[in-house]
């Protein structure tokens, strides 16, 4: 599919990778609708990009946004499932000094699953349903943002669960949506320079960078190149591309 033919939603698109994807798509001539909870940051997007507040943890918000985006763009044939949050903590931790045992809170588990998995899944459901109902032709494409953490990462039980499930469902959905002519692919970034990673503890950040063979943190453009490949390559389907600089866990 040519980028100029896309009428695509980007979730979590007010900043970081999502904003970069939206700008690149807009530059290529695509119609783009961006949603994010950070409503104040949406205003910084280039003119010509449709924008509206979107909380992907709310089913009502998702349904309303997809309907609005379809109307604003005169159709809908793409989705970049980018919205995500972190609530990192060990599932069970024992304080060395006090011996106190702490557990990952149910609230932090539910928050991450609600945004990164349930919200992402409902976005796919609503976008594909709208495509099928509207009688559009020409095919469509969904790009899920998974993570290299899907292979397992200490302190991220909630995030790992969500991102592993997205990668697995990329295969599932590629098979389910084939009759509609919709492809589904995923990108699994490693450590990327975004507002989310900029807030990391410096010691932990330095240790992680030292484990990346290419010797640097990734940039949003690195991930865009993988997203662009999935969007444009009509023979790519049901697979996840790792873009992590060869990160050694």
Which one-letter DSSP state was computed for residue 30?
-
Q: Bridge-partner residues for 33, per DSSP?
A: 9, 50
**CA separation for the pair 141, 30 (Å, rounded):** 13
Residue 115 in tokens: 């945004």
Evaluate whether 61 touches 79 at the Cβ level (below 8 Å).
no
pTM metric for this prediction:
0.94
Mean pLDDT over the full length of the chain: 95
Residue 187 in tokens: 């990108």
**Helix, strand, coil fractions of the chain, as percent rounded to 5:** 45, 20, 35
pLDDT at 196: 67
**CA separation for the pair 80, 22 (Å, rounded):** 9
Whether the per-residue pLDDT at 209 is higher than 90: the answer is no
Q: Write out the catalytic residue numbers.
A: 159
pLDDT at 219: 96
Question: In the chain, pLDDT over 70 holds for what percent of residues?
Answer: 99
- The residue among 111, 86, 88 whose CA lies nearest residue 195 is 86
**CA separation for the pair 173, 245 (Å, rounded):** 27
The label of the residue with tokens 């975004």 reads: 194
Residue-wise pLDDT for 6-28, tens only, equals: 999 999 999 999 999 999 999 99
Residue-wise pLDDT for 125-174, tens only, equals: 999 999 999 988 889 999 999 999 999 999 999 999 999 999 999 999 99
Query: 157-176 and 120-134 helices cross at what angle (nearest 10)?
Result: 20
Whether the per-residue pLDDT at 249 is higher than 80: the answer is no
Domain residue extents for the chain: 3-242
**CA separation for the pair 18, 10 (Å, rounded):** 7
Fold topology of 3-242: Rossmann fold (3.40.50)
């Amino acid at each position: 599919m040519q980028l100029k033919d896309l009428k695509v939603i980007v979730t979590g698109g007010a900043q970081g990778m999502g904003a970069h994807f939206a700008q690149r798509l807009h530059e290529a001539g695509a119609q783009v609708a961006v949603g994010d909870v950070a409503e104040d940051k949406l205003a910084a997007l280039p003119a010509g990009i449709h924008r509206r507040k979107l909380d992907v943890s709310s089913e009502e918000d998702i349904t309303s946004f997809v309907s609005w985006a379809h109307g604003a763009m005169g159709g809908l044939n793409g989705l970049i499932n980018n919205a995500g949050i972190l609530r990192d903590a060990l599932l069970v931790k024992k304080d060395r000094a006090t011996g106190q045992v702490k557990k990952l809170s149910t609230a932090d588990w539910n928050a991450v699953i609600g945004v990164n998995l349930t919200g992402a899944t409902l976005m796919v459901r609503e976008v594909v349903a709208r495509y099928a109902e509207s009688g559009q032709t020409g095919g469509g494409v969904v790009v899920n943002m998974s993570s290299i953490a899907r292979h397992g990462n200490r302190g991220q039980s909630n995030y790992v669960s969500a991102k592993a499930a997205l990668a697995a469902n990329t295969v599932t959905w590629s098979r389910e949506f084939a009759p509609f002519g919709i492809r589904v692919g995923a990108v699994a970034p490693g450590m990327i320079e975004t507002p989310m990673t900029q807030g990391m503890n410096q010691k932990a950040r330095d240790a992680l960078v030292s484990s990346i063979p290419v010797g640097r943190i990734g940039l949003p453009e690195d991930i865009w190149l993988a997203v662009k490949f999935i969007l444009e390559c009509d023979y790519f389907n049901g697979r996840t591309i790792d873009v992590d600089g060869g990160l050694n866990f």
